Structure 1
Amino acid sequence: MRLEEIVKERILILDGAMGTMIQRYGLTEADFRGERFRDVPGLMAGNNDLLSLTRPDVIRDIHRKYLAAGADIIETNTFSSQRVSMADYHVEDYCREINLAACRIARELADEFTARNPEKPRFVAGSVGPTNKTCSMSPDVNNPAYRALTFDELVAAYREQMEALLEGGVDALLIETIFDTLNAKAAIYAAEASMQTAGRKVPLMLSVTVSDKSGRTLSGQTMEAFLTSVAHADIFSLGLNCSFGAHDLIPFLQILAHRSPYYISVYPNAGLPNSMGEYDQTPDQMAEEMKFFVDEGWVNIIGGCCGTTDEYIARFPALATQGRPHVPAGKAETLCLSGLEQFELTPEVRFVNVGERCNVAGSRKFLRLVKEKNYEEALEIARKQVEDGALVIDINMDDGLLDARQEMVTFLNLLASEPEISRVPVMIDSSKWDVITAGLKCVQGKSIVNSISLKEGEEVFLAHAREVKRLGAAVIVMAFDEKGQADTYERKIEVCARAYRLLVDEVGFNPHDIIFDPNVLAIATGMEEHDNYAVDFIRATGWIRSNLPGAHVSGGVSNLSFSFRGNNYIREAMHAVFLYHACREGMDMGIVNPATSVMYGDIPSDILTVIEDVVLNRRPDAAERLIELADKLKAEAEAAKAGQPGA
């Protein structure tokens, strides 16, 4: 039977800690080096993965002990077998060979035990560790924008490892001890590419580690945010390992069990280490704590991490027979995004306010600060928007005098070091595809891409959409195709319907991750053909929400009032009126100034009537009347200012 079938029937047993077992053998530097690596510089002791080449007998013996203890799944001895980690030992060029050797050892032992008892098949999981570097954090406190490792470098390292693991015959890939979600996203990206290259699809297992009792990863994400960040992947199981003992993992495993649509794994440490770094919890004590997870129905796979040996794992088969396997939760039927924290677009939220001020095209101040490399003050603009209520921060660096790609990467890296800002998701906004992809490779959360369209045809549209999905983001789709920008109601719904079908049917995009922008265009421009633009947007919004299940609607609201730039009150009042009517039709997101002071209900009735006449195109002279009103209000404001003492 396959792993995917057995996991539904019973709780499976994963093996224990490879490192703990290796320590029992009292190996010396010579054991790690062998004859082959005698002249490699530096210390080699501690490079456990190299033992698959220099002391395969030890690794074989450890696998045998875990299988004899009842493990259904054993992990390959490859936790650090990629170039990033192996470079510390100057053996990075041996990664492929190490992975193949480790697979061969594990595969032989698993097959041997399966042959002995076909009723209890044994499986091999390719162990893929987090590396010793992080993509989300700077190792230099004086330069928070610096990264010792890029997403692309990590993907390349993981692909070399995973392609060897797949060639070696693993039954699953286990990305484990995840402390930085961006590292995990790179591993997921590499796993999907490797499986495609190898022509083999195997279950993908993820296991995260929390860094403290608050339940956050080392890179700062909550469990809910982590779940959202990896939701784009085809995941078999997700769980927790390392961190603490079983008891201290209860609240975090409960979150995963109740919210995750995947099978659940847990393999904790043998309690907390003592002052000597050793683990005092006995096998019986650990089994008693693990029993709680089984009794609660939270788990499908149980095992052990630091401090556990075959004696611990031997206690688990009896536990597994006492409980029923966990039944995964259903997938969230809503738009979920994440920064360090999760954002879920529930009915209670009603409208997602996307902060617009970190856009060089819309904020002269932000543009000036970026040009001057005054990032500290530029970050304050982002911080102020979050304080003012922005639920998402739009970031755009498209300017002819800027290196947009580099500025996007720099700003997002800096943003990651500011938890008050990075707790909310970001919208990566650019007309340049390389800027968008560079930005996506900097964020550990689930962001929004702004935007893709059918402007360059279906082939480019589908390629972009697939990459957005692989990189784990939601997407704004502009109502734009080969014929140009959709400006009428009919054109808007035609383009959006076509894009929706391509995204859902051909790319497999989650409909809830699709956000349409039917083009907010300027009204009251003096051109009659522009007068119905707001009405067409509002009507198209209603049609999209009724006919394209799951999809959302957004827009750049400030475009609407472009003709009245310089008159902030009229502009904000127009935005308030437009949003009032568009939101009633289902618009649930918009790029706006979160500090806006004009609310629909506060607009005086006489002014409201004039503005609604324009927004809803209710009379032919609506624009002229609004211009007269704007001039009148401006004159009154100037007169009031002139009459102030000291003016």
Structure 2
Amino acid sequence: MPLPTQMAQQLSKRILVIDGAMATQIQAAGLEEADYRGARFADASGALTGCNDLLCLTRPDLIKGIHRSYLEAGADIIGTNTFNATPVSMDDYGLGHLVEEINREAAQLARGVADEFSTADPTRPRFVAGSIGPTRATLSLSPDVNDPGYRSNTFQEIAAGYYQQIEGLVDGGVDLLLAETVFDTLTLKSCLWAIAEYAERHGQAPPLMISVTITDRSGRTLSGQTLEAFWVSIQHARGLASVGINCALGPREMRSYVEELSGLAPLPLTCYPNAGLPNEFGEYDETPTQMADVLGDFARQGWLNMVGGCCGTTPDHIQSIARAVHGLPSRNVDAVTPEPLARFSGLEPLTLRPDSNFTMVGERTNVTGSRRFARLIKSEDHEAAVEVARQQVEGGANIIDVNLDEGLLDSEAEMLTFLNRIAAEPDIAAVPVMVDSSNFAVIESGLRCLQGKGIVNSISLKEGEDAFRQQARIVRRYGAAVVVMAFDEHGQAVDIDGRLQIYDRAYRILVDELGFSPEDLIFDPNILTVATGMEEHDPYARDYIESLKQLKQRFPRVKLSGGVSNISFSFRGNDVVREAMHSAFLYHAIQAGMDMGIVNAGQIVVYEDIDAELLEHVEDVLLARRTDATERLLNLAERFRSQEGTQRGGLDDTWREEPLSQRIEFALLHGRTDFIDQDMEEALGVYDGPLKIIEGPLMDGMNVVGDLFGAGKMFLPQVVKSARVMKQAVAYLEPLMEQARREAAERGDAGRRKQIVMATVKGDVHDIGKNIVAVVLRCNGFDVTDLGVMVSADRILDAAREVDADIIGLSGLITPSLDEMVHAAGEMDRQQFDIPLLIGGATTSRRHTAVKISPAYSHSTVHVSDASRAPGVVSQLLSEDAADFIEANQEEQQRARIAFEGGQQERDLLSYAEACERRHRAVFDEGRFHTPDFVGVRATSPGLEELAELIDWGPFFHVWELRGSYSALLESDDAKGAQARELFADAKQLLEQIIAEGWLHAEGRYGFFPANSTGDDVIIWSDESRQREWDRYCFLRQQRRKRQPDAAMLCLADYVAGEQSAIEDYVGAFALTAGLGCQQHVDRLEADHDDYRAILLKALADRFAEAFAEHLHRQVRRQWGFGAEEGDLSLEKLLQGEYRSIRPAPGYPACPNHQDKRQLFASLDAEQTGISLTETCAMMPAASVCGLYFQHPEARYFAVGPIGADQVEDFAQRRGSDLSDAEQALSPNLSYDPKKVAIPEGV
């Protein structure tokens, strides 16, 4: 619902100002008990002090005076004094019966004062918002820690109380309803229900403003939701006119959340924070000027439509805020255009994008489908029942289906109890819930327990259109999505036409009549059991799959689902056959358009792993390929019925005879941990406490390590081993450390080592290099706080403040990380840090640091190229002579910027049109092209021992900064060669352990797709008829002028036959990982203080992934029909690419757009491998590779290089994206600065 007309008009011109705190002003009045009682309540039992809402009846003069003071200060909107005026709160004072009266009187008081000001200045109308607080009830949380399923109030009770409040507020004349300080979304939902009820009875309700409270820097509400999950949960609210954030935090702490919500919500945004965080006395210290400065900056950033103050703010605060935003434009709401996507939520949001993986709905929390779960529910073993839900989530379920329909159960009560219990488990509550029942009363009981946006399973036309409409309206009022079954008045649809007819009716009613978004609909066309022995059942699976294709074409925005286990009921008790049926069915159904399914997430076998004979028989049944398919599968099934579903030795120890300090130094230098605990125990009897041991022999030994490393006499692998010894020694001493620290502090000689905070930036998961740098710095006497991967700028800076950091270090591997580093540098500047910033990682460079990152931060920014240089750089930055080093670095960066600017102007680029004219004219003879063995997608999971034979060891040694040919390294007689041999031996030993003990698991998916090029795009066709475009890759073309005047300007599309060509060309794609299982072993090794083997393991996982890529490419060439031509290539020739075909990867020089990974993942359903993409398209696990295959014999790798604004504009048009988004995605390749006028490209 839009805001009131006058208010909307004002918002189009300026930012509106909300008033400040009511309670702060009441407290300042110094009231006594008599003020609260007045004459009317003089004889009331119990104290009334603190019942501020009652003052609307007993001290209306005071409340009107507060309203007037805020309007005089510049407020446009005043809130009624009704924050606690609901029965839940007023019953504490015995005044619950006065709720409607208090709200009505409060609204009339505010209305009267607002109208006075509006009359005095008609050009500036004032508005009244009816304040609706969160009550003290928590419907999502139990008030009893011993009973997580208990709630002190029901949803219906809270909704009924809110209804009374709303009636009073509307009767009193409010312009708006303001549900504020929301900390529990389910309690808010009860308020939304009451508002919808009021509107239904009275024809309409005032527009609604919602303001949520983020309780701390975790970015979550008190009940655990993220901001995005909250927004998804409340978008359905009737009459929703604005959304915002208030209370709990001061404006500075609120910054990132306001920015986030501004990008999420296509509605006016409100922000009214507290006057800072409360001090130790519960008071608020932020001055009006301080608060106004921050909120003024928010306004200049374009984040605000309405702004004001909450706890601790006064008319002085509001006056300063009003001045700060005066003349600044209101946020452009129309600029926020969310994609029409299916969105659900638990504590976390779940968004189903076009490139999303198949969505798993866990089926085991269903009493009709799981005998174990049914037994646990019946025996009231709720704790074990909750574990069933947890196992589903851990097994990969994106949503959990909960069904408690059983004849002997009180299903309504059981649904409420179970959902309340899992709400107390953050790992389970993170995912959305599908409330499943054939009894709509049970469904409604479940919906009253969900703070997130859940899914109803299900409704249908079985009882006619009127009943269908009634149930659908209720579902929509709760804000849930809905599954619609293929039933109507005539029963269950079993054929294609019957399904289409039912869904045509359902869609018309739900979307056209009732206003459902198509994205909130899930059609379940009924998966029916096959192989029953009844001939009429034989086509059920085939017809379901064909129905999916037609439904997806007819209703492209609706999701398609089904209960997968239904297909195999005929084979209950034979898990092998059932799992094969489920996986084969899903394989075909997903290709046909199935988006989600109710499955046992932990029991899906890999399609490629199904026994070939069994798969043939299963698919004969599913696809109805033979009349005797059922009988053949029954005979074969008997064969599967009994099967189940799926220290150093020999070293010279004479060093142990040396004195203690020398033994410690030896252990550090040689990475020996076998005696370190024993030596630390002995040291405790020699040195004066654990700190003296650390500051003495341990640091003496590490200093020797640092000196030798700096002199090139020790190598990185040795240093990491030394750090492992140091960490284990410190861990042994740690229990005694705290007391020693306290004693040293009392003596005033505790000292302080320099603090460095390091992190891999948000969106990036690569950390081997960062971990090595951290180890090297620790070895050189620095304290390093390593925050890990995917770390936001806010978290980095918070940690830096917490430890009083001397330096911050940022790392990243993928190109989008560069933008995040610029953002982090800008945040350091905005938050007035003055410590050095270090930049490192494979994608970083001195030039980029100088040109992009350094200008964002007013203080020193230094690029560090490798780990060996880090200690020297850090030491110089923290030395007495730091100013000289910083000045020299800044001068070098200034020269780099000047050179870059000059290079931009002098850069000799062809126009994009001319570059296209000079495209590579590849020869497309039909005889040179091959048709692959199959079209579509397959899974593959080779053994590690097979991959180990293809490992390229060169990059492994580069990780450890041992450069050169690895064979030459191993043969070298110098110290570097000796270190390389020792490292290689350690790697081989760990590699054998990885294979023998199954530490890592490799999974991949690959496929072939009909394709043709058009211009610089490659079209992927939906099938071999090549009539319907399924996807499109938009590639880039070289523009930099080459020395040879006739040299071609290359683009990957040049290697694919044109759309008008007679050649039937294909493109391949792959995504693979060898990192599954890696992190748990890394965590274990790090917990054992074994950084060396942890880094070694990550490096080997990367090598396995690259070997997997080589292995799969060889297999693909053979399946494409030309691999046999190459014979048995040696490993050396394989690694040098001496074969036909290339496999460029998104984010690399020939294909620099990381966003292409999203299309690639969607085409392969790549998340089935266990790989996922971060928001910046980094792959998790890090040991993962993806790319495209091109078969043209002339195809070769190349670098796109710098491109001009003309190509970027064309690229954005081709992809249908904003120019700014395209420029951000391609920023490393831009030949111009998007913030400046684009330099005309050489035409």
For this structure pair, what is the TM-score category when the shorter chain's length is used for normalisation? over 0.9
Which residue does the alignment assign to 1:240? 245
Please tell me the residue identity of whatever aligns with 2:266.
P
Q: What is the distance in 1 between the residues matched to 2:277 and 2:644?
A: 67
Deviation per residue, 1:565-601 (Å, 9 max, x gap) = 1111111111111111111111011000111142212
Q: Confirm or deny: 8 A CA contact 1:270 1:305 kept in the other structure.
A: yes
Q: What is the distance in 1 between the residues matched to 2:70 and 2:108?
A: 17
Q: What is the distance in 2 between the residues matched to 1:531 and 1:421?
A: 38
Q: What is the distance in 1 between the residues matched to 2:55 and 2:29?
A: 12
Q: What is the distance in 1 between the residues matched to 2:150 and 2:170?
A: 33
Q: Confirm or deny: 8 A CA contact 2:341 2:519 kept in the other structure.
A: yes
Q: What is the distance in 2 between the residues matched to 1:636 and 1:420?
A: 33
Q: What is the distance in 2 between the residues matched to 1:361 and 1:132?
A: 38
Q: What is the distance in 2 between the residues matched to 1:221 and 1:102?
A: 32
Q: Confirm or deny: 8 A CA contact 1:167 1:198 kept in the other structure.
A: no
Q: Confirm or deny: 8 A CA contact 1:80 1:131 kept in the other structure.
A: yes
Please state how far the C-alpha of 1:637 moved relative to its aligned partner.
Answer: 8.1
Please tell me the residue identity of whatever aligns with 2:481.
A
Please state how far the C-alpha of 1:315 moved relative to its aligned partner.
Answer: 1.4
| Equivalent position to 1:66, from 70, 81, 88 | 70
Q: What is the distance in 2 between the residues matched to 1:397 and 1:542?
A: 32
Please tell me the residue identity of whatever aligns with 1:218.
L
Q: What is the distance in 1 between the residues matched to 2:235 and 2:182?
A: 15
| Equivalent position to 1:266, from 264, 271, 278 | 271
Q: Confirm or deny: 8 A CA contact 1:569 1:598 kept in the other structure.
A: no
Q: What is the distance in 1 between the residues matched to 2:642 and 2:33?
A: 85
Please state how far the C-alpha of 1:6 moved relative to its aligned partner.
Answer: 2.5
Which residue does the alignment assign to 1:325? 330
Deviation per residue, 1:433-481 (Å, 9 max, x gap) = 1100010001101111000000000111011011001001111000000
Please tell me the residue identity of whatever aligns with 2:598.
I
| Equivalent position to 2:569, from 555, 562, 580 | 562
Which residue does the alignment assign to 1:310? 315
Please tell me the residue identity of whatever aligns with 1:246.
P
Q: What is the distance in 2 between the residues matched to 1:381 and 1:303?
A: 47
Please state how far the C-alpha of 1:25 moved relative to its aligned partner.
Answer: 1.2
Q: What is the distance in 1 between the residues matched to 2:56 and 2:73?
A: 21
Q: What is the distance in 2 between the residues matched to 1:488 and 1:68?
A: 70
Please tell me the residue identity of whatever aligns with 2:64.
R
Please state how far the C-alpha of 1:510 moved relative to its aligned partner.
Answer: 1.2
3-state SS of 1:315 partner: helix
Please tell me the residue identity of whatever aligns with 2:325.
A
Please state how far the C-alpha of 1:636 moved relative to its aligned partner.
Answer: 7.8
Which residue does the alignment assign to 1:643? none
Which residue does the alignment assign to 1:407? 414
Please tell me the residue identity of whatever aligns with 1:21.
Q
Over the residues paired in the alignment, what is the CA RMSD in angstroms? 1.3
Which residue does the alignment assign to 1:198? 202
Which residue does the alignment assign to 1:360? 367
| Equivalent position to 1:253, from 255, 258, 266 | 258
3-state SS of 2:421 partner: helix
Please tell me the residue identity of whatever aligns with 1:355.
G
Which residue does the alignment assign to 1:528? 535
| Equivalent position to 1:300, from 305, 317, 324 | 305
3-state SS of 2:551 partner: helix
Which residue does the alignment assign to 2:448? 441
Which residue does the alignment assign to 1:35? 39
Which residue does the alignment assign to 2:520? 513
Which residue does the alignment assign to 1:107? 111
3-state SS of 1:125 partner: strand
Q: What is the distance in 2 between the residues matched to 1:542 and 1:40?
A: 70
Please state how far the C-alpha of 1:251 moved relative to its aligned partner.
Answer: 1.2
Please tell me the residue identity of whatever aligns with 1:127.
S
Deviation per residue, 1:268-287 (Å, 9 max, x gap) = 00111111111111101110
Please tell me the residue identity of whatever aligns with 1:341.
E
| Equivalent position to 2:609, from 602, 605, 614 | 602
Which residue does the alignment assign to 1:47? 51
Q: What is the distance in 2 between the residues matched to 1:547 and 1:342?
A: 27
3-state SS of 2:522 partner: strand
Q: What is the distance in 1 between the residues matched to 2:527 and 2:505?
A: 19
Q: What is the distance in 2 between the residues matched to 1:166 and 1:55?
A: 21
Matched, 1:126 2:130: yes
Q: Confirm or deny: 8 A CA contact 1:294 1:322 kept in the other structure.
A: no
Q: Confirm or deny: 8 A CA contact 2:180 2:246 kept in the other structure.
A: yes
Please state how far the C-alpha of 1:129 moved relative to its aligned partner.
Answer: 0.3
User: Against the structure 1 CA distance between its residues 634 and 276, is the aligned structure 2 distance closer, same or farther, given a 3 Å change threshold?
Assistant: closer
Structure 2 gaps of 5+ residues are: 646-1243
Deviation per residue, 1:541-562 (Å, 9 max, x gap) = 1111111131001100000011
Q: What is the distance in 1 between the residues matched to 2:436 and 2:398?
A: 16
| Equivalent position to 2:476, from 469, 492, 514 | 469
3-state SS of 1:344 partner: strand
Q: What is the distance in 2 between the residues matched to 1:212 and 1:416?
A: 20
Which residue does the alignment assign to 1:385? 392
Q: What is the distance in 2 between the residues matched to 1:326 and 1:469?
A: 30
Which residue does the alignment assign to 2:626? 619
Indicate the percent of aligned positions where both proteins have the same amino acid: 53
Please tell me the residue identity of whatever aligns with 1:288.
D
| Equivalent position to 2:166, from 162, 165, 171 | 162
Matched, 1:189 2:196: no
Q: What is the distance in 1 between the residues matched to 2:600 and 2:297?
A: 49
Which residue does the alignment assign to 2:383? 376
Matched, 1:146 2:153: no
Q: Confirm or deny: 8 A CA contact 2:208 2:242 kept in the other structure.
A: yes
Q: Confirm or deny: 8 A CA contact 2:574 2:640 kept in the other structure.
A: no
Q: Confirm or deny: 8 A CA contact 1:13 1:73 kept in the other structure.
A: yes
Please tell me the residue identity of whatever aligns with 1:147.
R
3-state SS of 2:297 partner: helix
3-state SS of 1:550 partner: coil
Matched, 1:589 2:596: yes
Which residue does the alignment assign to 1:645? none
Q: What is the distance in 2 between the residues matched to 1:597 and 1:83?
A: 51
Structure 1 gaps of 5+ residues are: 639-647
Which residue does the alignment assign to 1:78? 82
Q: What is the distance in 2 between the residues matched to 1:557 and 1:420?
A: 25
| Equivalent position to 2:546, from 539, 558, 563 | 539
Please state how far the C-alpha of 1:193 moved relative to its aligned partner.
Answer: 1.6
Please state how far the C-alpha of 1:316 moved relative to its aligned partner.
Answer: 2.3
Q: How many residues align?
A: 638
| Equivalent position to 1:579, from 560, 564, 586 | 586
Which residue does the alignment assign to 2:433? 426
User: Against the structure 1 CA distance between its residues 564 and 298, is the aligned structure 2 distance closer, same or farther, given a 3 Å change threshold?
Assistant: same
Please tell me the residue identity of whatever aligns with 2:119.
A
Which consecutive segments of 4 or more residues in structure 1 shift more than 6 A? 635-638
User: Against the structure 1 CA distance between its residues 321 and 138, is the aligned structure 2 distance closer, same or farther, given a 3 Å change threshold?
Assistant: same
Q: What is the distance in 2 between the residues matched to 1:186 and 1:239?
A: 19
| TM-score calculated relative to the size of structure 1 | 0.97
Please tell me the residue identity of whatever aligns with 1:287.
A
Q: Confirm or deny: 8 A CA contact 2:293 2:324 kept in the other structure.
A: no
Which residue does the alignment assign to 1:17? 21
Q: What is the distance in 1 between the residues matched to 2:594 and 2:264?
A: 27
Please tell me the residue identity of whatever aligns with 2:451.
Q
Q: Confirm or deny: 8 A CA contact 1:209 1:242 kept in the other structure.
A: yes
Which residue does the alignment assign to 1:417? 424
Q: Confirm or deny: 8 A CA contact 1:166 1:195 kept in the other structure.
A: no
Please state how far the C-alpha of 1:288 moved relative to its aligned partner.
Answer: 0.5
Please tell me the residue identity of whatever aligns with 1:518.
P
3-state SS of 2:326 partner: helix
Please state how far the C-alpha of 1:389 moved relative to its aligned partner.
Answer: 0.5
3-state SS of 2:130 partner: strand
| TM-score calculated relative to the size of structure 2 | 0.51
Which residue does the alignment assign to 2:869? none
Which residue does the alignment assign to 1:277? 282
